[in-house]
Structure 1
Amino acid sequence: MFSKTCEYAIRALIYIAQQSKDGLKVSIKDISLGIDSPEHFIAKILQQLSRKGFVKSVKGPNGGFYMEADELKINLATVVREIDGDRLFTGCGLGLKACSELHPCPIHNDFKIIKENLMIMLESSQIKFFVDNLESNLTFLKC
């Protein structure tokens, strides 16, 4: 459903938020290990997330990535739109270019409901919610 880049971005944000809640800064290596992602790939993603203001970073031996209270309020729909664009919310389920209400594909009506529900879920899901669930051991980021 999400691109691999988007999956890693979401996982990285949740991991950084969890690890930096006590003022800690997290290294790329620790993030990579914590979310089971390739280090070079997550470095590129984190650079993009930092430029967009989703995370903050500090260079140097005691540096790393961290998030403050404002960043914890970011919802997943914002992250998905920034990384993957709007296609998940507006695109055709079969990938057709001309799919619309007036010219629907075979799954248009059913897929429209799924897209609407997905948008509602992602817009109402803030990073903080996932950190809270991790800390309560209700969810996990790595097997």
Structure 2
Amino acid sequence: MLSKSAEYAIRALVYIQMQNWEGKRPGYRQVAREIDSPEHFTAKILQIMTRFSLIYSLKGRNGGFTFDEQDGPLKLYRVIVAIDGEKSFTRCSFGFKNCDATNKCPLHDEFSKIRDNFAEMVNNETIQSLAQRIKAGEAVLTQKIH
């Protein structure tokens, strides 16, 4: 349900949060390397995130990306909307432009439930909750091939 851009954005923000907790502000090259994302693509995604004030970019020797603790937890919903817009929560599984309760595609009823559950999940989860799971050793940020 997520675009590749949204996947990379979430991973990048989780990594940045984890670095911020250690008192560090990573640059886009470091973020790209650590989340296994192309540098140019990561730079564009982080530029979008700063444009939406989801993170902040500091220039100079001690620069890098950071969260403002006063902003509070960042819901995944806001990240997805910044990257993909609202369509992630409204699109038809068949790609119909006018799929609704009166003009249904064959998967409308079942897909609506999945879409609603997805919207609920991303409204409950935050970048910080995901980073905390990784920090606690309950999850990983990247999968290393053995």
TM-score in terms of structure 1 length: 0.95
For 1:20, what is the secondary structure of its paired residue?
A: helix
Is 1:11 paired with 2:11? yes
Aligned-pair CA distance for 1:71: 4.6
Alignment of 1:99-114 (within 5 A): 99-114=99-114
CA-based RMSD? 1.2
The superposition leaves residues 74-112 of structure 1 with CA deviations (integer Å, 9 ceiling, x where unpaired) of: 100111111101111111111111211001000000001
Q: State the identity as a percent.
A: 38
Alignment of 1:1-143 (within 5 A): 1-71=1-71, 73-143=73-143
Aligned-pair CA distance for 1:8: 0.8
Q: Which amino acid aligns with 2:122?
A: L
Distance 1:41 1:132 in 2: 25
Deviating 4+ runs (over 6 angstroms): none
Aligned length: 143
**Gap runs ≥5 in structure 2:** none
Native 8 Å contact 1:72 1:128 kept in 2: no
**Gap runs ≥5 in structure 1:** none
CA 1:97–1:38: 2 relative to 1, 3 Å: same
The superposition leaves residues 101-143 of structure 1 with CA deviations (integer Å, 9 ceiling, x where unpaired) of: 0010000000010011000000000111011101011111111
Aligned-pair CA distance for 1:61: 2.2
